[in-house]
Amino acid sequence: MKTAAATDLVGLANRIFDGTVKVPGGRSARAAAVVARQALEESVDQRCAELIDGMQRASMRSTIILLRQLDDPVVGHKAQAAWAGLSNACHHHAYELQPTAAEVRSLLKLVAEIAGP
């Protein structure tokens, strides 16, 4: 499921997380999560387009279900876990803490397994 765009986004997410690319306000974990989620979505969309000729744009939840059913179920489950975790990490609520570095690092590793080098 590796695409050039997804691979580039995974690299960018890692550089944001590591501090190579600066993010204002100390929100590098959340910013890396946003970019990593985009990489995952690019990769899943690309793979589903390969599996289903002429597939129209569907929700990510739907495409992950298709991926699990029509392709490798293990990769599908990893994609589902990564997408759910990254979606949680991306959204800011006043009553929640920012995602921890360990949480984001583990999610970045999952995305790299699916979408990147």
Q: Kindly list the structural domains of the chain, giving each domain's residue range(s) and its CATH number in brackets, ordered by start.
A: 4-115 (1.20.120)
Q: Residues 36-55: pLDDT tens digits? A: 999 999 998 888 888 887 77
Q: Is a pLDDT exceeding 90 seen at residue 25? A: no
The reported pLDDT for the residue numbered 55 is 73
Closest alpha carbon to 116 in 36, 18, 29: 36
Q: Residues 4-20: pLDDT tens digits? A: 788 899 999 989 988 88
State the average pLDDT over residues 54-83. 87
Residue 74 burial by CB count (10 A; 0-12/13-18/19+): exposed, middle or buried? exposed
Reported in sequence order, the residue ranges of the chain that DSSP labels E, i.e. its strands, are none
State the average pLDDT over residues 82-92. 89
Q: Helical H runs in 52-100?
A: 60-70, 73-90
More confident site: 60 or 2: 60
The reported pLDDT for the residue numbered 36 is 94
The reported pLDDT for the residue numbered 1 is 58
